[in-house]
Amino acid sequence: MNIGDNSVSVSALNAYIKQMMELDDFLSGVAVCGEISNFKRNSSGHLYFSLKDDNAAVSAVMFRSAAARLSFLPADGMKVTVYGRVSLYEKSGQYQIYVQTMRADGEGELTRAYEALKMKLSAEGLFSQERKKVLPKMPRRIGIITSPTGAAIRDMLNVTARRYPLADIIVFPSAVQGAEAPSQLRMGIELLNHLKSADVIIIGRGGGSIEDLWAFNDEALVRAVAESDIPVISAVGHETDFTLCDFAADCRAPTPSAAAELAVPDISSLASAAEYNFGRIFDGAERALSSRAELLSGLTKIISLNSPKARLERSSLKLDNIYSRLDSSEKERLRASKSALSELSARLSGVNPLAVLSRGYGAVEDEAGEIISSVSQMKEGQSLTVIMSDGRAETVVSKISVNEK
C-alpha cells in the first residue's frame, strides 16, 4: 500500500474531524458535569478551564458573551454542569467544549468554595479588626460602586440626599453579578483610590441567591477591598446575606440604604447638636464672663486699695493721727511744764531779791557792780549804788560802824 498517495495534511485532517463533530447531533448540544480545574479568566473576558472527574478531563472555553450571563464566577474545585457543543480546535487538534451556559451543582458546592476561601483569607489576616479604618464623620465625597440601573443605587442616592445633601456622590457603574462583575467592581475600588476622589466608598447591590452574590466572593476583589486606602462599606444583599467582601470591608451594612446611613451623618441631627453645643458654649461663656467680672471687681478693689492715691490717703491719715497724738502730748507736756514753772516761780519768788526789796529792803553794789554783803567790803569815801525795789540811788560812804558780836 502506497501511503503517500492517500495522505492528507494535518490541517485537512483536523478540519474533517471538526466537521464530523459539528454534524453529530449528540455533540452539538451536550450537558457535561464535572469539577472545574485550571480556571483562568482572560483579559478579553473569555473563561478557560478543564472539567474533570476521577478518570478523565476535557478542556472547555466560555466566551465573553456567554460568561457575561453567569450569576456567579466559577472557581477551581467547583462542581458544575455545563451546556454547549463539542468541537475541535483545529490549530492544536484538541477537542473542547464550547460552553453556552453553566450552573453550579447545588449551593453545597458554592458554600464549600466560599468557606475554603474564607478560611484562607482569614488566616492571612485580611479580616482582622486591626486592619479596619475609621469612617469619616462628615465626608465631602462618597464613591458608590454598584449597578447604575438597580434599586440599590436609587436607595443610596435618596438616603444621602435626605440625610446629608452637602456631600458629592461619585457613582462608578459596574456589573454586580456574572463573570465580568468582579473585575469591574475591583476596577472601581482601584480607580477611586488612585484618583483619591472619595472620602468613603460604598460597594454593594441588592439581595439575591448565593449565585447572584458570588461576584463579591471573588478573591481578587476581596483583596482589593481589604487593601483600599479609602474606608470601604460593604452593602451586599440583605441582613442575612454575608459575602467575603463584608468581612474584608472596614464596615458592613445589612442593606444599601443602611450603608448610606452609615456613610453620612444626619444633617438635622448635626443642626440640633450644633444648637445644643452653641447653647452650652453660650452658657459657659456667660458663666466664665460672670466669674471673670467678679474676679475683675475683686482685683479692682485690691488695686484701688493699693493704689498710690489710696496709700497716700492712708499715710496722710496716719500722719494726722500721729500729729493729733503729738499735739495732745505736747499740749499735755506744755501744761505740765507750765504747772511746774508756776511752782518754781512761786518758790523762786520767795527767794527773789526783788521780792525782798519790795518789802523795804535794798541791795548795795560797788563800782564794779558786785553786791556788797558786808561792811568789811566798804571803805569810807567809797561810791556805792543802793538798789531799791523801785529804783537805784548813788551814795558815798561817810562812816563805817561794825556791829559788836
pLDDT for the residue 356? 63
User: Within this chain, do residues 194 and 52 fall inside the same structural domain, yes or no?
Assistant: no
In a domain, 323, yes or no: no
Main-chain phi, psi angles of 149, to 5 degrees? -115, -5
The alpha helices in 212-366, defined as continuous H runs, are 219-227, 244-248, 256-263, 267-305, 308-351, 353-357
Point out the domain boundary residue: 218, 237, 265.
265
C-alpha cell at 73: 464566577
Q: Which residue type is seen at 239?
A: E
User: Within this chain, do residues 90 and 173 fall inside the same structural domain, yes or no?
Assistant: no
User: Within this chain, do residues 19 and 90 fall inside the same structural domain, yes or no?
Assistant: yes
Domain assignment of residue 75, given as a range:
9-105
* Domains of the chain: total: 3
In a domain, 324, yes or no: no
Residue 305, SS3 per DSSP = helix
Please give the model's pTM, rounded to 2 decimal places. 0.55
User: Within this chain, do residues 149 and 257 fall inside the same structural domain, yes or no?
Assistant: yes
User: Within this chain, do residues 227 and 97 fall inside the same structural domain, yes or no?
Assistant: no
C-alpha cell at 26: 449528540
In a domain, 167, yes or no: yes
Point out the domain boundary residue: 246, 265, 284.
265
User: Within this chain, do residues 92 and 169 fall inside the same structural domain, yes or no?
Assistant: no
pLDDT for the residue 334? 81
pLDDT for the residue 1? 44
In a domain, 338, yes or no: no
Residue 165, SS3 per DSSP = coil
* CA–CA dist 52, 38 (Å, integer): 10
Point out the domain boundary residue: 81, 105, 129.
105
User: Within this chain, do residues 259 and 170 fall inside the same structural domain, yes or no?
Assistant: yes
Cα Rg, the chain, nearest whole Å: 65
pLDDT for the residue 185? 95
The alpha helices in 64-150, defined as continuous H runs, are 64-67, 107-123
In a domain, 206, yes or no: yes
pLDDT for the residue 187? 95
In a domain, 337, yes or no: no
User: Within this chain, do residues 134 and 254 fall inside the same structural domain, yes or no?
Assistant: yes
Residue 273: alpha-carbon gap to chain centroid: 17
User: Within this chain, do residues 59 and 142 fall inside the same structural domain, yes or no?
Assistant: no
CA neighbor of 117 nearest in space, from 217, 230, 25? 217
In a domain, 386, yes or no: yes
pLDDT tens series, the chain, 405 aa: 455 567 888 998 888 888 888 888 888 888 899 989 999 988 888 999 999 988 999 999 999 888 888 877 788 888 888 999 999 988 888 999 999 988 877 656 777 788 888 899 999 999 999 999 999 999 999 999 999 998 899 999 999 999 999 999 999 999 998 888 999 999 999 999 999 999 999 999 988 877 788 899 999 999 999 999 999 999 987 767 789 999 999 999 989 999 999 999 988 877 776 677 777 887 788 888 888 888 888 777 777 667 677 677 777 777 778 878 777 777 788 888 888 888 777 777 666 666 666 666 778 888 888 888 787 788 888 888 888 878 888 888 888 888 776
Torsion of CA 245, 251, 257, 263, to 10 degrees: -130
pLDDT for the residue 49? 95
Task: Output the domain CATH number for residue 168.
Answer: 3.40.50.261
pLDDT for the residue 116? 86
C-alpha cell at 174: 459596574
Pairing of strands 47-52, 30-41: antiparallel
In a domain, 272, yes or no: no
User: Within this chain, do residues 97 and 180 fall inside the same structural domain, yes or no?
Assistant: no
Task: Output the domain CATH number for residue 79.
Answer: 2.40.50.140
User: Within this chain, do residues 97 and 129 fall inside the same structural domain, yes or no?
Assistant: no
User: Within this chain, do residues 146 and 61 fall inside the same structural domain, yes or no?
Assistant: no
Between CA 90 and CA 94, with CA 92 as vertex, the angle to 5 degrees is 80
